[in-house]
């Protein structure tokens, strides 16, 4: 693997500014790697490689003209964007067949910020249908494959992002998270991902269009192969956007000011409902031990309300989402009948994936048989209060990212609730950073979630940096050597 593919975006930008390497060479290395391996991964679903190389040449010309002090932070550095986020000239289907011919005429605010900082977009990456399943597969682009083992899933819904970054073909990318859609792909593909505190980064330009009722549940954020890029990217992406009136919170602190020795680490090994693989539990304990070695106080606890994670997330989504999922499945047309689609799917005639159809069925059944939403919303508020009081301003929690390392394709259908380990983080409305912890016995990544109280993004990212130093962070996949 080209040595440039091992560097962070921050390091690449520094080398470009200092003339150690050209933007053309950096972008070419990533394009070559993507062209070689993306056919197996199916992570980038629409590329702009030729435009990216032309933009790299232009970046080199600008640098020669204005000098290193006058170019932006990520000048000449390549990246990728989740397909459900608007990028000029690119498709914006979110895996929905009825949107396959759409091409965007403007960027989302977050994409504009990346371009303004000098980022060069290589392409857009695969998602699950309407961004609502843990496997990135849809009827527009097909299924994405894990760079460590092509027979395994990449996660969802930012699965294409996780896979292409984990492969080494992109140093960083942009995702969005309503139930673990940044953290789960980051976990399965061995990279870093950050779900920020609510209302710090704009959600505008995403499809499905987030309703204001979900403004604290859905968050847009970065994925990257090196932890040192997390904070600069969050800083870059944060700030008001006229398209997103809820994006008003200020970004607080700085990871450099965080002292690990002053933190209390609460390690929660499971939710009391779904058992966690022993290898993941052991990795989490090692992470806690590494932080203890740096002076942190480590305590183990359990939270009984976590047993209700699925009910809490489901009620939160139902209360905040103004558009029924079956309507979203219909695109610009009428709402679909999920029962009809289920029959059509059994004969191979549906334009929708089975997980999306089953979610539609569940939505219909929930209206017929109410699931105690009012009590679940009270329980969700109680859980947020309990966790905030437990952690305080200098507390973090370690929590499993999933029940097991990346499963085989389609296996999640047999265990459809395993993703709730990340989804409850959206109910908590807290910043959570996904941290890789090396590879397990299956040769696929291990990892852990690091969370803290709202506004403590700098704290979770500081812990991610410490754990990267202890465990090595991203491991380039031997599968692609």
Which residues are part of the catalytic machinery? 82, 157, 181
Length of the chain: 481
Instruction: Give every CB contact of residue 119 below 8 A, 6+ residues apart in sequence.
Output: 74, 77, 78, 79
Q: What are phi and psi of 414, to 5 degrees?
A: -85, -15
Helices 23-41 + 159-167 axis angle, to 10:
120
Which of 458, 444, 476 shows the shortest CA–CA distance to 185? Answer: 444
* 444 close to 188: Cβ distance less than 8 angstroms: yes
* 191 close to 165: Cβ distance less than 8 angstroms: yes
Instruction: Give every CB contact of residue 235 below 8 A, 6+ residues apart in sequence.
Output: 251
Question: DSSP secondary-structure letter at 285?
Answer: H
b/e sequence 163-184, b meaning 16+ C-beta within 10 Å:
bbbbbbbbbbbbbbbbbbbbbb
Question: DSSP secondary-structure letter at 474?
Answer: -
* 357 close to 341: Cβ distance less than 8 angstroms: yes
* 239 close to 247: Cβ distance less than 8 angstroms: yes
* 299 close to 332: Cβ distance less than 8 angstroms: no
Sole residue written with tokens 């009825």: 98
b/e sequence 423-461, b meaning 16+ C-beta within 10 Å:
bbbbbbbbbbbbbbbbbbeeebbbbbbbbbbbbbbbbbb
- Side-chain-side CA neighbours of residue 84 (13 Å): 31
Q: Residue 145 belongs to what H/E stretch?
A: none
């Amino acid at each position: 693997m080209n040595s440039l593919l091992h560097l962070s975006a921050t390091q690449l930008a520094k080398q470009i500014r200092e003339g150690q390497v050209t933007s053309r060479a950096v972008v070419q290395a990533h394009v070559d790697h993507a062209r070689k391996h993306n056919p197996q991964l199916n992570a980038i679903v629409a590329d702009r490689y030729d435009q990216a190389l032309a933009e790299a040449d232009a970046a080199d010309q600008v640098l020669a003209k204005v000098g290193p002090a006058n170019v932006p932070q990520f000048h000449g550095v390549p990246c990728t964007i989740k397909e459900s986020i608007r990028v000029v000239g690119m498709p914006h289907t979110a895996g929905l067949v009825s949107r396959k011919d759409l091409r965007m005429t403007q960027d989302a605010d977050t994409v504009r910020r990346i371009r303004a900082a000098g980022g060069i977009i290589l392409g857009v990456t695969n998602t699950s249908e309407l961004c609502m399943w843990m496997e990135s597969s849809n009827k527009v682009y097909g299924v994405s494959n894990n760079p460590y083992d092509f027979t395994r899933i990449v996660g969802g819904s930012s699965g294409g992002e996780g896979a292409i970054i984990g492969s080494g073909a992109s140093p960083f990318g942009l995702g969005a998270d309503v139930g673990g859609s940044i953290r789960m792909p980051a976990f399965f593909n061995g990279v870093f991902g950050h779900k920020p505190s609510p209302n710090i980064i704009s959600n505008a330009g995403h499809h499905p269009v987030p309703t204001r009722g979900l403004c604290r549940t859905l968050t847009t954020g970065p994925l990257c192969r090196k932890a040192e890029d997390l904070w600069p990217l969050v800083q870059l992406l944060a700030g008001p956007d006229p398209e997103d009136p809820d994006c008003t919170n200020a970004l607080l602190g700085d990871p450099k000011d965080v002292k690990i020795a002053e933190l209390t680490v609460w390690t929660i090994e499971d939710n009391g409902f779904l058992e966690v693989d022993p290898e993941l539990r052991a990795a989490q304990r090692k992470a806690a031990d590494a932080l203890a070695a740096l002076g942190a106080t480590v305590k183990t606890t359990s939270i009984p309300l976590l047993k209700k994670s699925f009910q809490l997330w489901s009620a939160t989504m139902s209360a905040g989402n103004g558009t029924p999922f079956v309507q979203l499945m219909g695109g610009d047309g009428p709402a679909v009948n999920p029962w009809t689609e289920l029959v059509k799917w059994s004969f191979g005639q549906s334009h929708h994936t089975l997980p999306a159809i089953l979610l539609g069925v569940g939505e219909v059944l929930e209206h017929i048989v109410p699931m105690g939403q009012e009590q679940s919303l009270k329980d969700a508020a109680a859980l947020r209060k309990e966790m905030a009081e437990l952690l305080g301003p200098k507390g973090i929690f370690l929590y499993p990212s999933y029940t097991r390392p990346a499963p085989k394709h389609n296996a999640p259908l047999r265990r459809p609730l395993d993703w709730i380990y990340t989804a409850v983080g959206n109910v908590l409305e807290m910043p959570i950073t996904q941290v890789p912890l090396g590879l397990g016995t299956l040769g696929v990544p291990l990892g852990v979630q690091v969370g803290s109280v709202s506004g403590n993004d700098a704290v979770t990212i500081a812990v991610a940096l410490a754990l990267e130093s202890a465990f090595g962070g991203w491991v380039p996949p031997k599968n692609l050597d």
